[in-house]
Amino acid sequence: MHDLATTDPPPAAVPAPTPAEVLQGALIDSRRRWRELVDLAADFAFETDEWGRFTLITPDPALDWAAGSLIGEPSAALLAEGGGDVFDPFRVSARVRHRKAWLKRGDGSTACLAFSASPILDAGGRITGVRGVGIDTTELDGQAAQMARALRRSEVVDHLMRCIAREVLASHMIASGLAVLIDALAAEGIAIVLASTGAEPAQVPHVTGMGTDAVLALADRQLHLGASEPMQVIAPDRRRILVAACPMRSGEKAGLVAWRPPDARAWDGDDCLLMGSGSRIIRMLLEREAIQYDMARQARTDSLTGLLNRRAFMEEMERHAARQQRDNLPATLIFADLDNFKPVNDRLGHEAGDEVLRQTAALLRKTFRPSDLVARLGGDEFAIWMNGADHMTAAERAEYLRDAVPRELSEITGPDLPRVGVSIGIACREAADGEPLDSLMRRADRAMYEVKRGGRGHWRVSLRRRP
């Protein structure tokens, strides 16, 4: 007998795919691969129909949107900006590449995407939709914009420094700097404001542009707040004000103030950064101006009394004399010399002598007008130029000094020293009189020494002898 082996029946033959099935599979595979590539390379890919509704969104999620939530929705609703001048990547009639558009994110923020898109055409060439991909460039654009803004600030500051470097006087440097800043900030006006004190109102030593009066009070108020960063405020007339403090080492509150008209754009972060940079440079120039002013003042004033020194008095007297002759007004020159001053230095010391000179200077300031010139010529000799005054007016002042000087200085000298008095010589220059100044000075000096020789402590008027 033979054993019979059992075997499985042969497998049924699998029919070969038809050409249509092969093509369909290839298309499906190709679409799958296309979507995978798009997911890897693009942040937003889409297809729309002829009515602009989304038919495909990938990846999922895309820009924080669930892809399914956008299918069938109008593409225009995703645009962050509207208007005829805004590029719409979902409505193109020809192929475009790397065109930027702003879309709304699912979280409410916006994103800038660089789109490449082309229309979908049917067999007859009619547009039935749009297909495209977008790359999110928000962060790159932000970095580029930040670099551009930093470069702009650097260029403005560099231009400002070049402009002020051409000047010598700090006041001219400040004027040049304000001219640069008003253009860079697109401001209506820009000024340096010194904040008010208990005794003085707010002051504007430097300004470029118009509208200072409308912003001064509000700027002063902001400076007293003492903020370290630029501050934005709105004036009652709707002007937009930007204030940056420039605190001085002297303790004085100063600030750089810029303003725009009511219909102008608001100040932005770049404006604030530029204003901050400008305020630091302006502060440096204000300090330089203060130093130059102090040096000029020291060169023209007597360090002990604060009165004009001899050189400054001679220069100013020539200027005032020219104006006196032009205005056809009288003017009077007075020379005053202290009596018994040497014993004060010899017996009480130079500190007491210096105090006598300071007290005499204070008395002269009180006796004469601010428009008059008062100087210490050297030692214990003083000079006064009285604008618009004749010898009678000068004699009244001299009589007051004759009595007041010894009375007020007695507290310093005490009863054991000869009383410190004053000998005064007066010479008047009549209206439209062309008497040379050296002749006028000789007459005043001669009159003073006649008082010295005649017993001191009095005054004398020198009348000009006419030919």
Which tokens in the block code for residue 62?
């895309």
- The residues, ordered by sequence, that sit 6+ positions from 284 with a Cβ below 8 Å of its Cβ are none
Q: Which residues pair with 194 in a beta bridge?
A: 203, 254
| pLDDT band, residue 36 (cuts 50/70/90) | low
Q: Which residue has the higher pLDDT, 37 or 127?
A: 127
Q: What single-letter DSSP state applies at residue 371?
A: T
Give residue 423's Cα distance to chain centre: 53
CA–CA dist 139, 113 (Å, integer)? 10
In the sheet that holds 331-339, the strands lie side by side as: 373-378, 381-387, 331-339, 421-429, 459-462
pLDDT of residue 40: 57
CATH placement of domain 33-136 = 3.30.450.20
pLDDT of residue 1: 45
Burial of 20 (0-12, 13-18, 19+ CB in 10 A): exposed
Domain ranges of the chain: 33-136, 143-298, 310-462
Domain 310-462, CATH homologous superfamily name and number: Reverse transcriptase/Diguanylate cyclase domain (3.30.70.270)
Q: What percent of the chain has pLDDT over 70?
A: 88
Q: Do domains 33-136 and 143-298 have the same CATH topology?
A: yes
Q: What is the dihedral of CA 339, 345, 348, 351, to 10 degrees?
A: 110
pLDDT of residue 141: 67
Check pLDDT > 60 for residue 395: yes
Check pLDDT > 80 for residue 3: no
**Mean pLDDT, rounded, for 317-321:** 90
CATH placement of domain 143-298 = 3.30.450.40
Residues in the chain: 467
463 phi and psi, to 5 degrees? -95, 135
pLDDT digit string, tens, across residues 68-108: 999 999 999 999 875 556 789 999 999 998 888 889 999 98
Least confident of 21-25, 328-332, 381-385: 21-25
Check pLDDT > 70 for residue 28: no
Q: Which residues pair with 209 in a beta bridge?
A: 189
